[in-house]
Amino acid sequence: MSKLIIKGKQRLGGKVSVQGAKNSALPILAATVLTRGESLIFNCPVLSDVEASVGILRYLGCVISREGATLVINADGICRSDIPDGLMRKMRSSIVFLGAVLARTGSARLSFPGGCEIGPRPIDIHLCALREMGAVIKEKHGYLDCTAPEGLKGCKISLSFPSVGATEDIMLAAVLAHGTTTITNAAREPEISDLADYLNKCGAKIYGAGEGVIVIDGVGSLNGACHTIIPDRIAAATLMSCAAVTGSRIALTDVVGSHLASVIPAFEEAGCTVLCQNGEIDFRAPQRLDSMRIIRTMPYPGFPTDAQAPLMTAACVAKGTTVFIENIFENRYRHTSELVRMGANIRTEGKFAVVEGVEALYGAAVEATDLRGAAALVAAGLCAEQNTEISGVKYLERGYENLELTLSALGADIKKI
Ligand code: UD1
């Protein structure tokens, strides 16, 4: 099992490019199931979650090759509609394969998905919507058995919560369904628009992605297409946190500033200068950060829950008190006890975390238990006095492409052993 060893207190500097978005790549890979012919997916990050998706696609019968950041996928040979437990458990977002496999083959048999331990992650919204579209779903012995005896039919679906995964699953089921599907209270994340852009290039008719109402006119078939994955806004926020806690100036290339519109003001409140133009961010942190007062996670365009943990590290070393309110996931404060081991002053109660900034964090042996919590610990290690040893690196590898190499290139003293 690998570990990260970080010698803290090194100032960062220089320019790095931001990886492609994990949360776009995963649904887009699932979407290739719906297509005939070849798709070229550019800017596809090398991550264990992406490899898990590739494993599922290969099992289903797709032919896939990777050249650098490009995945070439041909789904002509799809010959199965089941996904074994071992492949499903590798990541939570494997549930987006449900809509795609059902639409492509008329049936789907898959076990309940796995993923990071950030609280209960039910799939009731996905299942309810697919049933409204005509799917018959039986839940037995940890498996979902789904069929669409009369095909999937477009309908009006109103989501009780703008779930990202459910919006994607419905889009995937609806693009080849009979008639028109209208999703109200749809998720508005940029990754939803990216999925729609890919599918529309393949011949789908999706309107309004990125807004609260998405309309999908079903079509008869989809071709493959070339598509470039959008930059990863959470990876960008994480790198900014790393620069913030080390009082550094860095430049990020390949970013979309508007996707970070709720994150940048938090850094500015902390005293950072963030200049964003032409797909680049020039980020400058002060010697000591100010507190950010209140950070509330919300569905997009609100502050992203995925950036909560990395920003919390910044709050840990800021002057004053920052209050976090986590509105999206229960149990998303598992990193706090490890930050406390490093000298942070954090109290949590339910969805609240009160962080009183301290002068310094101290290196310690800590353990990551989820992806973004792991990123928070890396940022903490970068600013801590002496050495930090982080285990649970497999969580980091779900979502960050060689983060240790990126940070080393910026001047951090970090290595994986
Ligand atoms: C996606 C992202 C994840 C991000 C999250 C919220 C991917 C691969 N992952 O996860 O990084 O943190 O959006 O921005 O894109 N819920 C239900 N029933 C459902 C579905 C969801 O109750 O059927 C609840 C969840 O338990 C959670 C909330 O809704 O509390 C948000 O979940 P959702 O938006 O679906 O997140 P994911 O798609 O799992």
Active-site residue list: 116
Helical segments of 62-163, H only: 85-88, 96-105, 124-132
Gap between the terminal Cα atoms of the chain: 9
Q: Given the CA of residue 165, which atom of ligand 1 is nearest to it?
A: 38
pLDDT of 92 over the 80 cut: no
Least confident of 104-118, 257-271, 285-299: 104-118
φ and ψ at 59, to 5 degrees? -60, -40
Helical segments of 141-184, H only: 164-174
N residues, the chain? 417
Tell me which H or E stretch contains 395: helix 393-399
- Which of 7, 38, 45, 5 is closest to 24 using CA atoms? 45
> Residue 121 Cα, ligand 1 centroid: separation in angstroms?
7
Residue whose pair of structure tokens reads 């994480």 in the numeric block: 238
Q: Given the CA of residue 125, which atom of ligand 1 is nearest to it?
A: 23
> Residue 96 Cα, ligand 1 centroid: separation in angstroms?
11
pLDDT of 414 over the 90 cut: yes
pLDDT of 117 over the 60 cut: no
User: 72: helix, coil or strand?
Assistant: strand
Q: Given the CA of residue 124, which atom of ligand 1 is nearest to it?
A: 23
pLDDT recorded at residue 113: 72
- Does the CB atom of residue 164 touch ligand 1 within 6 A? yes
pLDDT in tens, 173-203: 999 999 999 999 999 999 999 999 999 999 9
- Which of 338, 417, 332 is closest to 370 using CA atoms? 332
pLDDT of 96 over the 70 cut: yes
Task: Name the residue with the closest Cα to ligand 1, atom 38.
Answer: 165
pLDDT in tens, 212-246: 999 999 999 999 999 999 999 999 999 999 999 99
- Does the CB atom of residue 97 touch ligand 1 within 6 A? no
pLDDT of 122 over the 90 cut: no
- Does the CB atom of residue 165 touch ligand 1 within 6 A? yes
pLDDT recorded at residue 332: 92
Going by pLDDT thresholds of 50, 70 and 90, the confidence category of residue 139 is: confident
pLDDT of 143 over the 90 cut: no
Task: Name the residue with the closest Cα to ligand 1, atom 11.
Answer: 306
pLDDT in tens, 335-374: 999 999 999 999 999 999 999 999 999 999 999 999 999 9
Beta bridge partners of 181: 216
Percent above pLDDT 70 for the chain: 98
pLDDT recorded at residue 120: 58
- The mean pLDDT of 159-186, rounded to a whole number, is 98
Q: What is the 3-state secondary structure (H, E, C) of 178-232?
A: ECEEEEECCCCCHHHHHHHHHHHHCCCEEECECECEEEEECCCCEECCEEECCEC
pLDDT recorded at residue 118: 53
